Every structure is written in C-alpha cells, then in structure tokens.
Structure 1
C-alpha cells in the first residue's frame, strides 16, 4: 500500500538552476515530474528566463547586465548575484534543502552558483551542489573557469557532486549529436537530484528520512555519484555491481562512510533481489557505513533495474569522482515499497539498514489503513 503525505508536511526542497546549463537541467527535471520539489531558474539572461519551464524565475544583476547576460565572465556572474543577494535571501528563506545545479565554465553558472549556495546555507538549508564540467572540446579557458568555480562552490555547500562531461562522453553512443550529449549531461544531474529527493518525499516517514539524508549529506564534502543499469535474471545485483565499480573510472565507493542508494524498477522487484543488491553495496563500503535507500516504480523501465548511488564521507586520501553507465530517460513516480510478508528468521538475515526501512514502511502502511478505517466510520 502506498501512503501519501500532504505536501505541506514535506520539507521545503528547492532546486535552483543557475545560468544556462543549470536552467536546462531544471527544464529536464520539470518534465520528469519529480514530486515534492520547487524548481527555480536564476539567470542574468532575460531571454533564457523567458523560455524556462521553472515555476519560479529570478533575474539577477539587472543593473549590471540589463538582462543581457554576462558574456561568459564568471566575475560578472558573481557580481550579478551579489547585486541581487536580498532577492536570493527572500527566495530561499524557509528552504530546508537546496540543490544548486549549474554547468561550470560559463559566466552566470560559474560565478553566481557559489553566491546562491552561500545564501542557502545562511538561511539554514542543507545545501547540495550538483554541477557538470566542460567537454574537452569546449577549450582550456572554459575548463580553467570551471575549475575556479568549483573550488569556490566547494567551500559554500555541504556536499558537491561534480560530473565531468568528458567522462560522460565516453558512454555516449557514437551516433549521438552534440545536443544529445548535453541532454545526457542534464539527465545525469536530474538523476542525482531525484535520487536524493525521492528518499525524502516517498513512504511518509518524513522526519526520519530527512534526518537520514541530512546525516549523509551535511558537511560531507565531495561526493561520488554512481549509476548502474541491468536487466534479466540477476538484474538488481548486476546494477549494483556496475554502480559500485564505477566502470568508466579507476574509482569505487570503497571506504565511503555514508551511502544513499535509490532503485528504479517496474514494480515487480522481489525482496530477495533488493536484499542481494543491498549486500553488494554494503560489502564494498566501510563496515560502519550509514546506508539509506529508496525505491521508485517506473513501468517504462520494463525488466531492467536502475540503481543510483551517492556516497560521501571519504578520507582525505581518497578523491571521489563520478561513475556512470548509459542511462535511460524516464518519468518515474515515487511510491512506497510494497514488500511481501517475511518471517522473523528471514528478517534477521537482512542487513540492518534494510530491516529498518522495511519496518518503517510497514508502520506507514498500517497507519494508512487505520486512518482509512477511521475516515469510513466518520
């Protein structure tokens, strides 16, 4: 049984797309119908804002830019954000979680994103940066600008997920156009944000889930994003293996002390499949790691399983990067994970973090049943 919660009871989650790249990513997220999230486009370019699908839009640096953008200059992007700092504070006031999405290397995204993140943390929001870095063919100047922007942004967020487009390109089919490659980068940002927000917005255990996510992401530093897809007999385990091994990089999530993973499936995923996938992840991270998970049912994925893993809490000697496999565009809908009854014996064999989630879901379902019966009596 799925137990839904009034949106007023959900934490205030905002996704701020800064600049052109961030705005494009927000448009993709809006079209993916991610629930429980408010989307905001922030830009210096009035024309770009006019075509945004975001429900809220803010033009920054009006005096400085006259709505014409910053010409690819990150310094002007930063100045534009500082000019509109009061408007940003008003926009973000009350937010409990803020995602700052941007494409690094341009002017507005690179320069303004750190200011947006700083304001978000000042109002008390858990702040997560999700950014892409330039493709190699975009030139060294853009790459240097991106590096500088990321260095600044890292100091202003709780957690930073940085996705290198050059690595992403390695997983693109040969026939992909430039536009399709950029769309793929936007979609990876969407997957990262949706994996986190679904943990909070689904199942109804709002306070517990949000606190768990805060534990994983608060002041966590660099994060590793890993994505795996698989289908067939051992689909869940194979998806988990692909994600945890980060196949495009010589990097795994080994040693992570905080892990969040989200599983997208067609609704027919068995408890034992989830158990095996969870064990794959638990075996490669730190033995004391805090692990939380969520699920999304998306009938369009068919027989395949899509796994998104976000890992934090690495030691200073480790350098988390991004692991990616080819992703499939989808429009998932979050629901409570419906699990068959299991015996105490079987329950004892499950990983502790999996047992906690199952019990929480069972309590939610029971509460929902009780409320329905009470409503019928009234």
Structure 2
C-alpha cells in the first residue's frame, strides 16, 4: 500500500511540475538608458504593456526619483562616462553594473530604449546590450538619434555607438518615441496574451533577435476584408520606405484582433505576406487577442536582415581589486 502511495505521489509531483512548465511565461525587461529615454519609458508604463518589467538608468538623481519605474540605477555619478573596462572600473561603476546585472539576470527578452543623447548613454547602451545578450536573452535596441542642434560631439558619439550596436545586436532606429509602445507591444503581446495562433519565445529569438537590422511596418483596418487590408498597409508603410521587403531574411508578423478572430483572417495575412517574399525567407506569423471589443485588425510587420555572427567574450570580468568575498552580490556572468 505504501509503495502504491509513493508511486501516486511521484505521479502527482510530476504532473504538478509539468503544469508549472506549461504555465511558464517569459521574463521580459524594458530598459531605458539616459534621461530622455526615461521619459519615454515612463510614458510606456502609463500606457501599459502587458508582462514587461521596467528598469531605468540615468545620470540625473531627480529624474530617477520622479520616475514610476520600480527599478532605478544611477550611472556616471562619479565620472561622465560609465566604464566597464576592468582596468578602469571604479567602485561606483562596479555598483552600477551589479545592480543592472541583478535586474537582468533572469530575462528571456530585453528591450533597450536609448536616445544616445550623452556620453554616458553612448557607452552604457552598448555595455548593457552586451551584458543582456551575454546571459542568453534576446536583445533589441530601440534607438532614437539626437537632433543636429545638440552639437558635433554628441552626434558623433551617437553615430559611433549606433555603429557598434548595429554590428552586435538587433537594432531598430526610431523616427520618434511614439512608436515604441507598438513596436515592443507587438512582440511581447505575442507571448503574454491569449493567442489564436501562437509564437513562443524561442521562435522569436530565432526569427527576430538573431538579426541585426530591423525595419517595421504598421497597418490597421476594419470591415469584411480587414486582415488583408491591414497587411497591405503594413507592407506599404512609410516606415519601410527604401527597404525592399522581398530582400528580408526573416519576416515576423504580429497580428491582433478582438475575440472575433477567424482562421480566414490568419490565412489572408499568411497568403499576402508570402506572396511578397521569396520562398527562402523565414516567415513567422502570430495572431493574438488584443482584448478590445471592436473589429479593428492590426498588423505589425518586422522585417529582419543581416544575420548575426557568433560572438564570444563580450562580457568583461571584474578586476581583482574590486572583488569581494560576497560572491552572492555579484551576478553569475560577472563572477570570476
């Protein structure tokens, strides 16, 4: 009797573990780097993005104190640039890095928002992106470049940082901050909301996050032929001006609608997208419930190009002079 009870207990425990695995939801982080990006992130929090934890980093103490984000990390409060070079790192830099590392340690996907509007932001954006990808997270950098009136030094540094980011990570250059909610939400909602046709986190890492150059098109439509019309708008979006969708190596479609979704909607999107790209293009299409009551159909089209090359040793180790005996306070990827 005891043996039979033990077998049943093991079965129950196995089923419970299986249920926990099935219910697992990816951990998604949104990181704002720099004071201007913090304003964008605060707006995102107010608008609401389902299933995303937000972190802000900046140089101004008052900016951090006023932010509604739950995790705040101050950068560059000893010197104007945060350095992650083991030979130049100060104790203050070490503390900043440890806080960022702890905040990102369990992330599956990381969206980094940066306006590259100061020297600290240039350096920190690159380093944080390197760290996030180094721990295995899918990383996308949403970058808004500073305006020309901010001076040659700021713009020159921004272009240099952008070049480094584009050589290592998935980068989408923003025409303005208004689109950030749609761009991030179009990806995160695919894995956090009720799905009619699902895409999981692994699929997204393969179809978006392993490409360096990303362009996005947006389309919305209502009525009887809404899915096809919204897809046409996305394919012809001004945001894709100068980019040939047919040359994309990967295309990801994030489609959303209310509860009245149908397979006819999905089939219309799938057919039209595949008609516009060659058979060699990797097409991934997801359809989810946006929770709205109307019949509006929305399409976010992510066109990805320039596949990443395998990289190693992006994450420097902490210098011995800054180490302490409390290894538990140092994220795993920073331990020597």
TM-score range, shorter chain: 0.7 to 0.9
**Superposition RMSD in Å:** 3.1
For 1:277-299, what per-residue CA distance to the aligned partner results, in whole angstroms no more than 9, with x for missing partners? 22221211231323131324243
**TM-score under structure 2 length normalisation:** 0.73
1:228–1:107 distance in 2 versus 1, CA, 3 Å: farther
Q: Does 1:247 align with 2:238?
A: yes
- The correspondence of residues 1-378 of structure 1 with structure 2, limited to 5 A, is 9-64=24-79, 70=80, 76=81, 83=94, 84-135=96-147, 142-157=154-169, 159-163=170-174, 165=175, 185-203=176-194, 209-247=200-238, 249-288=241-280, 289-299=282-292, 302-314=294-306
In the aligned structure 2, how far is the partner of 1:201 from the partner of 1:266?
15
- Tell me which residue corresponds to 2:14: none
Kept in 1: contact 2:168–2:212 (CA 8 A): no
Higher Cα Rg, which structure: 2
In the aligned structure 1, how far is the partner of 2:290 from the partner of 2:98?
40
For 1:329-353, what per-residue CA distance to the aligned partner results, in whole angstroms no more than 9, with x for missing partners? xxxxxxxxxxxxxxxxxxxxxxxxx
Over 6 Å off, 4+ runs: 5-8
- 1:223 shift after superposition: 1.0
**Number of residues paired by the alignment?**
280
Q: Give the secondary-structure state (helix, strand or coil) at the position aligned to 1:151.
A: helix
- 1:6 shift after superposition: 9.5
In the aligned structure 2, how far is the partner of 1:13 from the partner of 1:194?
11
Kept in 2: contact 1:105–1:144 (CA 8 A): no
Kept in 2: contact 1:212–1:292 (CA 8 A): no
For 1:207-255, what per-residue CA distance to the aligned partner results, in whole angstroms no more than 9, with x for missing partners? 9611111111243111111112233443321221121123351323212
1:156–1:257 distance in 2 versus 1, CA, 3 Å: closer
Kept in 1: contact 2:195–2:287 (CA 8 A): no
**TM-score under structure 1 length normalisation:** 0.65
In the aligned structure 1, how far is the partner of 2:39 from the partner of 2:289?
24
In the aligned structure 2, how far is the partner of 1:140 from the partner of 1:246?
32
In the aligned structure 2, how far is the partner of 1:295 from the partner of 1:15?
21
- Tell me which residue corresponds to 2:3: none
Unaligned stretches of 5+ in structure 2? 1-19, 309-336
Q: Give the secondary-structure state (helix, strand or coil) at the position aligned to 1:16.
A: strand
Kept in 2: contact 1:198–1:294 (CA 8 A): no
- Tell me which residue corresponds to 1:369: none
In the aligned structure 1, how far is the partner of 2:77 from the partner of 2:272?
51
Q: Give the secondary-structure state (helix, strand or coil) at the position aligned to 1:278.
A: helix
In the aligned structure 1, how far is the partner of 2:119 from the partner of 2:102?
23
- 1:140 shift after superposition: 5.6
